[in-house]
A and B are shown apart, each in its own frame.
Chain A
Amino acid sequence: MDFEHESDDPFRDDEDDPDAHLSLEKESTKEYVVYLVDASPKMFTSTCPASADDQKEESHFHIALSCISQSLKNQIINRSYDELAICFFNTREKRNIQELSGVFVFNVPERDYLDRPTARLIKEFDRIEESFAKDIGSQHGIVPGTRENSLYNAIWVAQALLRKGSAKTVDKRVLLFTNEDDPFGCIKGAIKSDMKRMTLQRAKDAQDLGISIELLPLSHPSDPFNVSQFYAELIGLEEDELADFMPSSGIKLEDMKDQLRKRMFKKRIVKKLKFIIVDGISIELNSYALIRPTVPGAITWLDSVTNQPLKSERTFICADTGALVEESTKRFHPYKNQNIVFSTKELSEIKRFSTGHLHLLGFKPLSCLRDYYNLKPSTFLYPSDEAMDGSICIFIALHRSMIQLKRFAVAFYGGSSRPQLVALIAQDEIIQSGGQIEPPGMHMISLPYSDDIRLVEERHSEKVGMVTRASNDQIKKAADVIKRIDLKDFSICQFANPGLQRHYAVLQALALEEDEIPEIKDETLPDEEGLARPGVVKALEEFKTSVYGENYDEECEANAKPSEASKKRKAQAEVATKECENYDWGELADTGKLKDLTVVELKYYLTAHNLPVSGKKEALVSRILTHMKK
């Protein structure tokens, strides 16, 4: 295994489907981003209403920084191979390769301007506001009387930073944060149009080099950002896109972070699929992994003495002769007292069914899709007219009919790792406060086969004659509880993964050699205050009484009564503790006589001290010694 090449992109589809790659466009594998942050005085004086419950207003500058900080923290977890630079413009100090004024590239030691994020960058960037005025300073870059053009300079610096890496393999982007919709507003006449033209030309040059420039405008309800003033032309917005661009005038911090988060991740097509609807009608779909579990990155083994990474080497040894062999192309499975040998080719032949194609089998009402028909995260499908004109049209027609008729499609998907039946659910677009919450398209859900479904409930069937149905009164009481403990606006994005957050907090602390590990708030714990509200308590009490009667607590105790097994275990422990006292363990250990005892005797010590009793005799002895700290 070679860890260097192990991508820790958790959104990569786990299915390694070599055949499907054939049809896959080669896509950029890396992303280089330059954050361009306007640092003009206006960014400090304008504010946004912060979250609703907190009346404190936050400056646009602060909002921009916290958005970036957030995305850096996400990036170092998810996409640490991507590179970025942070660059302020309209600054007093200057720092950039071209020595252009009014532009300051923020950086930390041991890092190029455009480089992968490091722990130190994140940490120092978090503190930048404290020292900003002193070290960098805010200053209008475009003022009458000079021909200085800080915006022009900024784009030029960004473009120079992004010169690195070829456009074939890298997505290059500039994310521009500003609240000034008319940067040349204070300038008049020919100079103004001149500067405007130059700046637009500069932006166009950058775009011609494959750099996309994206705008994240900040505004205040009373002073909306007018994108058509200047920036529409700079970022190349078409007339009809203008209306969609500024969803609402008062962008709150959270929305802004959301916006950035959404833009941070470029869509990546996992696969291109051919969807065979009926004979002669096949449309083209792209598949995307919208939901995949994020896991802490791969482990790299290090030499504990030098802390240098280790290389692992794999060798194949013939178990019979001990000879080194090359990786064999044959596999075998024991069956009926013989070894049945397969070639890898035969094995892949067994798994081959119309590879990479999605074959429509029919439709069923949504009620047929039971909650237990699930095995792994779903995959999102969106049509493409790239290879087949008409794909989108057919897809939309089916999509709309499926939603209207409340039906899902059943199809067979011939992926090479697990060819399977899938359900395709049409999802309508959901838009909330100007943002797309759910994109329109279909979700592909892998269905289990009969061998994958276990008949637990039936195995668990009660003896005949037992009451298993709740009475109406009990159901009503349960309904009261449900009404009381209601999570109104529950959404799946509500919780950060506390284990993962802790993991990265620990890593960050260790990486920066900090003494304290920051506490991570576990958002997944129940709302104890809410549960203690009188109404809730009352509803719960009534439900309890209706099901358990008056003696719930007694029953709890009764249930808490130790089972036979635990009683036995307890008795054994007592015996062991007693027996254990008959030996002078310290001396036995010192004189090395532990090994002369029997395993049963050794286990007395282990049981008495609540240690595991498994393993060979040597293991037991060494466990005792470890426990005695000898």
Chain B
Amino acid sequence: MARNKEALVLLLDVGPSMHSVIPEIEKVCSMLVEKKLIFTKYDEVGVVLFGTEDTDNELTEEVGGYQHVVVLKNIKVVEGDIVEALQQLPRGATHGDFLDAIIVGMDMLIKKFGETNKGKKRLCLITNAQCPIKEPFEGTKEEQVTTIAKQMIVHGMRMESIILRGKLSQDANKKIMDENDQLLRIFSTETSARSTYVENPVSLLGALRTRNITPSTIFKGDLELSPKLRIKVLVYKKTAEEKFPTLKKFSDKAASTDKFATHEVKVDYEYKSSQEPDKVVPPDQRIKGYRYGPQIVPISQAEWDAVKFKPEKGLKLLGFTDSSNVLRHQYMKDVNVFVAETGNTKATLALSSLARAMKEMNKVAILRCVWRHGQANVVIGVLTPNLSDKENIPDSLYFNVLPFAEDVREFQFPSFSNFPAPIQPNEQQLEAAANLVKMLDLAPQGKEEVLLPDFTPNPVLERFYRYLELKSKHADAAVPPLDDTLKKITEPDDELLQQNKSVIEKFRRSFELKENPRHKKSRRLLREERYGSSEENSKGEIPALASNLIEDKSNVEVDNIGDLTPVQDFEAMFARRDNPDWVVKAIDAMKNKIHDLIEDSHEGDNNSKALECLAALRKGCINEQEPKQFNNFLRDLWSFCQEKNLHGFCDSLSSKGITLIPKSEAADSEVTEDEARSFLVKSQPKV
């Protein structure tokens, strides 16, 4: 049994005012359960709906009341049917009372677990809190909420509420909303409940943590300001990338009838001597070697342990410095947070006073850290203050790793002021840019910051888990396209663009942007160098690709290879006899053309054209007795494709049988028949 198994009750408002956001709620909640099915499959989940037409809960049977609250799923270990139920939430017809729902949820947790499972019982409320809650039988609403909050603490429950506002709530009674906000705030102050206000569908998807990771300390001990002053701290990870899940390799060798087949592929590594390829060297006969220039220096683990750098565990302050001395882009890794030891008031105060003083003075602290005993390296990093705005959350410090001198490359770049005047933006252009920067605003005053990282889900993971669920039902379903909500993360928001149409239009008109005709040329020149045309002395420049080439072809002799009919152009150039240089030029131009085609190919859509050109080039080179030109080019092309992982093209080479020109086809060739044949064999992907 997992130690950290959690019991969660989802309290979902499905009343009429919620209908427009229910699709997003379905997505985020089913994702939550999907992840539980994968990562914490012993967790238990229950689902309570409120604002429904019907009433179905134990409390109403026992004591009456609690109308329009339906227990959709009782608390149980996560299963696929919960996902399905969450994907098709019913649309309710009445106004729900979130407090009723909270009480029903608490009741379920208490009945199921009693006093046990402290701290692992969680309620999660999603509502727009637009409807008033009922007046209590006695006392005020505030008193009632306070009592309930106290009960939550007694039973070790945590609550998380996600409250929909802004675009997500419709025209509602402001007074009721304020009252409800007030009531919900009691939960946050009385308990450690977290309430999150979200204003758009993207942040709704991101607001609910779909995966529950219990933080573990990286370091526990003293933050040493000086040998005489140490503050007890705990260090946790503040950010850590949630990776795309690692999938196992699938083997279909097992019989389809075999129910117990694992379908796994085991990867086996064997180390073999380079002289005797058949001899396997056992692990205990292996020794690690490190490169030092061309030498490989063997060092055994024991030797290494004896001499390696062994810093002492601990966090030492080097000093404080102006925050401007550390630039934001110098942060190297994911971020840690320093909090005071739990329950240690003095340490909490010490950190708080440091953090507040640093903030006031605009200073940061530089630290030398060795997190673990036996760590082979030290870390230099910067502490920045994180002042809490909530009474019950203490101040803390963020820690970012800084680079060492070895980690920084000081490349020089031209100053912008050194560019010639025509390249510099003029007044009017600067104004257009400034307006764009001002108006394309993602953090408008008084509104929720758009795409706040804390509330923005990872579209790749969203897509993966949705696809996983889909595939569990339809094994050959195609990858679904991004839905509109997720598109708001990857593409600019249409609404924002619409609002700023004139600013954008002005910006667009202020700048002239055109495809650079020199570009093709410069790339060509580069490539010419690459393919060693210097040897052939074909310095005669291939003129830039003329766009009007095609129209002019009738009356002008072809002097370059165009985009439309490269093979014909090539043959035409070959046929020109006014100057023997044309052959060399044609060959070079064709090489460039082929290269362009492959390089610009998207998923191999240019491959067939490139192959045609290559075949034409091969024929031409045989006719003109230039086998070397072709062979060298093919080899270069080959390695280029390998390097760029363009295996698709290499494969089609073999399928078309285009290989080196052997001696038998052109007398000047230095390539033997066998070599030509084996050239393609080489192209088979390595196993």
Query: CB distance A330 to B513 under 8 Å?
Result: no
Question: What 0/1 pattern do residues 382 to 403 of A give for CB contact below 8 A with B?
Answer: 1001111111111011111110
Question: What 0/1 pattern do residues 464 to 502 of A give for CB contact below 8 A with B?
Answer: 101111110011111101110111111111111111101
Chain A residues, Cβ within 8 Å of B328: 369, 425, 443, 445
How far apart are A108's CB and chain B's nearest CB, in angstroms? 11
CB-based nearest A residue for B479: A349
Chain B residues, Cβ within 8 Å of A540: 225-226, 228-229
Query: CB distance B410 to A262 under 8 Å?
Result: yes
A303-358 CB contacts (< 8 Å) to partner B: 303-321, 323, 325-328, 330-336, 338-342, 346-347, 349-351, 353-354
A365 on interface, CB distance cutoff 8 Å: yes
B136 on interface, CB distance cutoff 8 Å: no
How far apart are B279's CB and chain A's nearest CB, in angstroms? 9
Query: CB distance B361 to A500 under 8 Å?
Result: no
Chain A residues, Cβ within 8 Å of B516: 385-389
Known pairs A410-B451, A475-B360; A350 contacts B253 (CB<8 A): no
How far apart are B592's CB and chain A's nearest CB, in angstroms? 13
Residue from A281, A289, A382, A486 in contact with B413 in the complex, judged by beta carbons closer than 8 Å: A382
Question: What 0/1 pattern do residues 166 to 190 of A give for CB contact below 8 A with B?
Answer: 1110000000000000000000000
How far apart are B291's CB and chain A's nearest CB, in angstroms? 5
How far apart are A186's CB and chain B's nearest CB, in angstroms? 35
A628 on interface, CB distance cutoff 8 Å: no
Known pairs A454-B237, A496-B406; A316 contacts B265 (CB<8 A): yes
Residue from B265, B403, B492 in contact with A328 in the complex, judged by beta carbons closer than 8 Å: B265
Q: What CA separation (Å) do A418 and B457 show in the bound complex? A: 13
Query: CB distance A548 to B242 under 8 Å?
Result: no
User: Which segment, of B69-77, B174-182, B380-388, B675-683, faces chain A?
Assistant: B380-388
How far apart are B293's CB and chain A's nearest CB, in angstroms? 5
Known pairs A320-B261, A360-B492, A401-B433; A547 contacts B458 (CB<8 A): no
Chain B residues, Cβ within 8 Å of A342: 247, 471
Chain B residues, Cβ within 8 Å of A300: 288-291, 296
Q: Taking each of A335, A525, A556, which has the highest tally of chain B beta carbons within 10 Å of its own beta carbon?
A: A335
Query: CB distance A390 to B513 under 8 Å?
Result: yes
B472 on interface, CB distance cutoff 8 Å: yes
Q: What CA separation (Å) do A282 and B511 show in the bound complex? A: 11
Chain A residues, Cβ within 8 Å of B366: 487, 490
Q: What CA separation (Å) do A459 and B471 show in the bound complex? A: 36
A359 on interface, CB distance cutoff 8 Å: yes
Residue from B273, B339, B378 in contact with A498 in the complex, judged by beta carbons closer than 8 Å: B378
A1-50 CB contacts (< 8 Å) to partner B: 8, 10-11, 18, 21-23, 25-26
B62 on interface, CB distance cutoff 8 Å: no
B543 on interface, CB distance cutoff 8 Å: no
Q: What CA separation (Å) do A421 and B492 show in the bound complex? A: 12
Q: What CA separation (Å) do A330 and B354 show in the bound complex? A: 54
How far apart are A332's CB and chain B's nearest CB, in angstroms? 4
CB-based nearest B residue for A118: B293
Query: CB distance A398 to B251 under 8 Å?
Result: no
Decide if the interface of chain A is mainly helix, strand, loop or mixed.
mixed
Q: Taking each of A298, A374, A410, which has the highest tally of chain B beta carbons within 10 Å of its own beta carbon?
A: A374
Q: What CA separation (Å) do A39 and B353 show in the bound complex? A: 60
CB-based nearest B residue for A400: B430
Query: CB distance A298 to B311 under 8 Å?
Result: no
Q: What CA separation (Å) do A436 and B436 show in the bound complex? A: 30
Query: CB distance A293 to B288 under 8 Å?
Result: no
A261-289 CB contacts (< 8 Å) to partner B: 261-262, 265, 267, 277-283, 288-289
B122 on interface, CB distance cutoff 8 Å: no
How far apart are B325's CB and chain A's nearest CB, in angstroms? 5
User: Which segment, of A98-106, A505-513, A583-591, A613-621, faces chain B?
Assistant: A505-513
Known pairs A311-B277, A328-B251, A392-B419; A454 contacts B236 (CB<8 A): yes
A195 on interface, CB distance cutoff 8 Å: no
B484 on interface, CB distance cutoff 8 Å: no
Residue from A258, A453, A464 in contact with B190 in the complex, judged by beta carbons closer than 8 Å: A464
Q: Taking each of B289, B348, B400, B512, which has the highest tally of chain A beta carbons within 10 Å of its own beta carbon?
A: B289
Chain A residues, Cβ within 8 Å of B80: 336
Q: Taking each of A22, A116, A463, which has the highest tally of chain B beta carbons within 10 Å of its own beta carbon?
A: A22
Q: What CA separation (Å) do A137 and B389 show in the bound complex? A: 72
A579 on interface, CB distance cutoff 8 Å: no
CB-based nearest A residue for B337: A456
Residue from B268, B321, B432 in contact with A490 in the complex, judged by beta carbons closer than 8 Å: B321
Q: What CA separation (Å) do A414 and B406 show in the bound complex? A: 29
Query: CB distance B361 to A304 under 8 Å?
Result: no
Question: What 0/1 pattern do residues 73 to 108 of B give for CB contact below 8 A with A?
Answer: 000000110000000000000000000000000000
Query: CB distance B333 to A547 under 8 Å?
Result: no
Query: CB distance B253 to A323 under 8 Å?
Result: yes
B491-523 CB contacts (< 8 Å) to partner A: 491-493, 496-497, 504, 507-508, 511-516, 518-519, 522-523
Query: CB distance A502 to B309 under 8 Å?
Result: yes
Known pairs A397-B429, A451-B457; A310 contacts B274 (CB<8 A): yes
User: Which segment, of B524-532, B546-554, B607-615, B663-671, faces chain A?
Assistant: B524-532
B269 on interface, CB distance cutoff 8 Å: yes
Query: CB distance A362 to B463 under 8 Å?
Result: no
A439 on interface, CB distance cutoff 8 Å: yes
Query: CB distance A372 to B455 under 8 Å?
Result: no
Q: What CA separation (Å) do A451 and B368 show in the bound complex? A: 29
Query: CB distance B337 to A526 under 8 Å?
Result: no
Residue from B254, B273, B413, B455 in contact with A439 in the complex, judged by beta carbons closer than 8 Å: B413
A411-432 CB contacts (< 8 Å) to partner B: 412, 414, 418-421, 425, 427, 429
Residue from B272, B274, B311 in contact with A522 in the complex, judged by beta carbons closer than 8 Å: B311
B489 on interface, CB distance cutoff 8 Å: yes
Chain A residues, Cβ within 8 Å of B296: 300, 302, 309
Chain A residues, Cβ within 8 Å of B248: 331-333
Query: CB distance A311 to B274 under 8 Å?
Result: yes
Chain B residues, Cβ within 8 Å of A261: 410
B357 on interface, CB distance cutoff 8 Å: yes
Chain B residues, Cβ within 8 Å of A318: 251, 253-254, 264-266
Query: CB distance A524 to B368 under 8 Å?
Result: yes
Query: CB distance A388 to B236 under 8 Å?
Result: no
B285-343 CB contacts (< 8 Å) to partner A: 285-300, 304, 307-309, 311, 316-321, 325-335, 337, 339, 342-343
Chain B residues, Cβ within 8 Å of A302: 286-289, 296, 298
Q: What CA separation (Å) do A201 and B350 show in the bound complex? A: 71
Chain A residues, Cβ within 8 Å of B34: 335
A535 on interface, CB distance cutoff 8 Å: no
Residue from B264, B333, B348, B456 in contact with A468 in the complex, judged by beta carbons closer than 8 Å: B348
Chain A residues, Cβ within 8 Å of B286: 301-304, 310
Q: What CA separation (Å) do A483 and B493 show in the bound complex? A: 46
B459-488 CB contacts (< 8 Å) to partner A: 459-461, 463-464, 467-469, 471-472, 475, 479, 482
Known pairs A290-B411, A335-B468, A450-B209; A468 contacts B394 (CB<8 A): yes
How far apart are A389's CB and chain B's nearest CB, in angstroms? 5
B571 on interface, CB distance cutoff 8 Å: no
Known pairs A399-B416, A401-B433; A375 contacts B472 (CB<8 A): no
Chain B residues, Cβ within 8 Å of A503: 290, 308-309
How far apart are A514's CB and chain B's nearest CB, in angstroms? 12
B159-194 CB contacts (< 8 Å) to partner A: 189-190, 192, 194
Q: What CA separation (Å) do A459 and B363 show in the bound complex? A: 27
How far apart are A305's CB and chain B's nearest CB, in angstroms? 6
Known: A300-B291, A526-B318. 14 other contacts (CB 8 A): A210-B529, A315-B267, A317-B266, A317-B267, A331-B250, A342-B471, A353-B459, A353-B490, A380-B329, A382-B413, A387-B519, A452-B334, A464-B189, A492-B330
Give 12 pairs: A residue, B residue, CB < 8 Å, sorted on A: A293-B407, A316-B266, A359-B490, A386-B522, A390-B514, A410-B442, A418-B460, A461-B393, A493-B408, A499-B309, A502-B308, A507-B292
- Give the 6 A-B residue pairs with the shortest CB-CB distance, closest first: A499-B377, A470-B353, A443-B329, A331-B247, A397-B433, A320-B254
